[in-house]
Structure 1
Amino acid sequence: MRPTQEDVARRANVSRALVSLVLRDAPNVSERSRRKVLKAAEELGYRPNAFARSLASKQVRTIGVLINDVTNPYFGGVYASFAAAAEKAGHDLLVAPGLRSPSKEVTLVNTLLEHRVAGLALLSPIMATADLRRIAKAWPTVVVGSEVSGVGVDVVTTDERQAMGEVLEHLTGLGHRDIVHITGGQNRAARDRATAYRQAMRDLGLTPREVPGAFTDQGGRQGAQAILDMSPRPTALVAANDLIAVGAMGVFAAAGVRVPEDMSVVGYDDSQIARLELIGLTSIRQPVDRFGTAAVEMLIERIAGNQAGSMVQRIATELVLRDTTAAAPRSR
């Protein structure tokens, strides 16, 4: 049976009310009583021990992490990177799985804050800018994977223009001129990638063509259906993430459109699914290992009060070539 606050009170020879006051960090408790209760709690293995230790040292060393979409393999890599960097820095993590819902994200962040976290790491949040601004104003916050400006948060993200420029240089080098983009929806990361795509196409003197989608394989399937109805049909697709690309490839295969002979496909994230031999997806690799290190360093500095203005660190990407891109077909 797990020890209770009553057990702690008996071990410390104090009242149950005093134990509650100590564990809530109430100000009207003597240091002697506080140490006595925390020592008893530690000896009994009363949970949450991390919370008790933070009270004893007067320093909270837990970071709250909000993950946009736990079903997307990309976020697994980002979280693993962040967790490794946090552990190395001596911090614990409290994780809330986002459900691709702006309102639920806000609720989850409020829950994290109720657990006395020292700071927040938000992995590609989709909550309203006003909510993000309110949270960042009250708590040290870093955003990972999407760009946010003017809300008082530090940001670690990719250089979207560099990434899209490299993709389109590769595709145009293969002779493609009609290149379509399936977007990831209306969230920040998707908008940033769509903006970068449009700019890179125009820089090359090409006409952008976009199909609305979402950061899911279903979004890719729906986008691919729209592409099949286009006339003339594009010869290359740049998807907003790997799930979209793989969903689209399934629809193309069912329709007899060969990848890459008839349609070249590029994904984004270089997640585990892109690296599967059966898929072999050409994709933009984000250096998620560097994401974690940079984000933890930024957040610790902000928690310590050493960072005044907002910082944005854009990390260069790498285009990984596999089996889904080839020379543009010569004729239709």
Structure 2
Amino acid sequence: MATIKDVAKEANVSIATVSRVINKSPKASKASIESVTLAMAKLGYRPNAAARALVSQSTQTMGVLVGDVSDPFFGSMVKAIDTVASQQGKHLLIGNGYHSETKEREAIELLINHRCDALVIHSKSLSSQELIGFAEEIPGLVLINRFIPEIADRCIALDNHKGSYLATEYLIKHGHQHIGYICSNHDIEDTHQRKAGYLQALQDNGLSHSESYIEYGSPDEEGGEKAMTNLLAKGFPLTAIATYNDYMAAGTLSVLEENDIDTPKNMSIIGFDNGLIAKYLHPKLTTVRYPIQMMAEKAAILALKLANKEAAKAETNMFTPTLVRRLSVVKA
């Protein structure tokens, strides 16, 4: 494998000149650039990224922590961040946290050790205090889908409570009084906020709440199937179901179809997120829009500005969810 000394010898220049060319120093002459570039191509020399980073103080990389990159939600998030990063000549390093405190910490440490210029972090398991500590250490760190008052200007979040409130209220306005809720079993703030929004909407509209009307499962199709099966087994006079997300709604629809319960004629369903799956379900799913692409773009831009020591703050810290009306909800 060729070394920088080999390149210097081939180009008939000093090692310092090769270093200046590699690191794009303005002191490198046009002739030096040409001779060194030709020598590197001839020898197949590839500059060491870590060494270049020490000189330039930049690795041209941006770090992203997601829950699970195989989840389409996080796929949309990563794509939006990558678009912004590419426009700035940056490449992404991606870590998976899997909603585990240990894995989230390890992934963030790894991204920091790789000297990423900016970080967009989706963390649900680490404490607020630990994330504040990371933010103090890394100027270009921005949190997404998490709001911590002490570092509010570096947080991009969604009002999950309001989204679930809107969904439940929409069912109530369609005359539904017996409304079940399919809830995630993940112990994260999104779960608690969305359940609280459902309960608040019932209370504000004078409807009684029964914990028996709530079932839990993993936040995917299988979890939705399990939760809906359990609700049906209880035999309650439900006419509508609000769900934690669109994937649980998909599982719910599957169980209703298997049991010859017509949706929406005999059971209205509303989701949350407005993921790609929502408009391809049958019936097309009424849901709550989670503007993750817009939020991810804003987070990436903010992180890069902060990393460059530019005076910047989020234009919007808390995004507002909106209803997407399709075909899965009708009047009771």
Query: Could you say if the C-alpha distance between residues 277 and 253 of structure 1 is closer, same or farther in structure 2, counting changes exceeding 3 Å?
Result: closer
Contact 1:85/1:292 (<8 A) preserved: no
Alignment match, 1:251: 255
Query: In structure 1, the residue corresponding to 2:181 is in which secondary structure?
Result: strand
**TM-score, normalisation: structure 2:** 0.80
Q: C-alpha distance in 2, partners of 1:96/1:7?
A: 32
Alignment match, 2:112: 113
Identity of aligned residues (%): 24
Structure 1 window deviating more from structure 2 (264-273 vs 150-159): it is: 150-159
Contact 2:302/2:312 (<8 A) preserved: no
Alignment match, 2:189: 188
* Aligned with 1:271 (options 250, 272, 275): 275
Structure 1 window deviating more from structure 2 (218-227 vs 276-285): it is: 276-285
Query: In structure 1, the residue corresponding to 2:46 is in which secondary structure?
Result: coil
Q: C-alpha distance in 2, partners of 1:279/1:98?
A: 34
Shift of 1:132: 2.9
Q: C-alpha distance in 1, partners of 2:147/2:194?
A: 10
Query: Could you say if the C-alpha distance between residues 78 and 310 of structure 1 is closer, same or farther in structure 2, counting changes exceeding 3 Å?
Result: closer
Q: Which runs of 5+ in 2 are unaligned?
A: 25-35
Shift of 1:35: 2.5
Q: C-alpha distance in 1, partners of 2:47/2:17?
A: 21
Structure 1 window deviating more from structure 2 (283-292 vs 305-314): it is: 305-314
Shift of 1:217: 1.6
Per-residue deviation, residues 29-68 of structure 1 (Å, max 9, x unmatched): xx7674266576975462665x565445333432101121
Per-residue deviation, residues 208-267 of structure 1 (Å, max 9, x unmatched): 443223322222122112211334242211111111111122122222322212221111
Alignment match, 1:10: 6
Q: C-alpha distance in 2, partners of 1:234/1:146?
A: 33
Structure 1 window deviating more from structure 2 (310-319 vs 259-268): it is: 310-319
* Number of residue pairs aligned between Structure 1 and Structure 2: 308
Query: Could you say if the C-alpha distance between residues 86 and 37 of structure 1 is closer, same or farther in structure 2, counting changes exceeding 3 Å?
Result: closer
Per-residue deviation, residues 111-150 of structure 1 (Å, max 9, x unmatched): 2222111221123543344543443332232222243444
Provide the aligned C-alpha RMSD in A. Answer: 3.1
Alignment match, 2:179: 179
Alignment match, 1:321: 325
Q: Which runs of 5+ in 1 are unaligned?
A: 20-30
* Aligned with 1:237 (options 241, 245, 249): 241
Amino acid across the alignment from 2:177 = R
Matches for 1:160-309 after TM superposition, within 5 Å: 160-184=160-184, 185-208=186-209, 209-276=213-280, 278-306=282-310
Q: C-alpha distance in 1, partners of 2:193/2:165?
A: 13
Q: C-alpha distance in 1, partners of 2:222/2:195?
A: 18
1:145 maps to 2:145: yes
Per-residue deviation, residues 6-29 of structure 1 (Å, max 9, x unmatched): 433421359xxxx9xxxxxxxxxx
Query: In structure 2, the residue corresponding to 1:265 is in which secondary structure?
Result: strand
Structure 1 window deviating more from structure 2 (145-154 vs 282-291): it is: 145-154
Shift of 1:176: 0.6
Query: Could you say if the C-alpha distance between residues 273 and 291 of structure 1 is closer, same or farther in structure 2, counting changes exceeding 3 Å?
Result: same
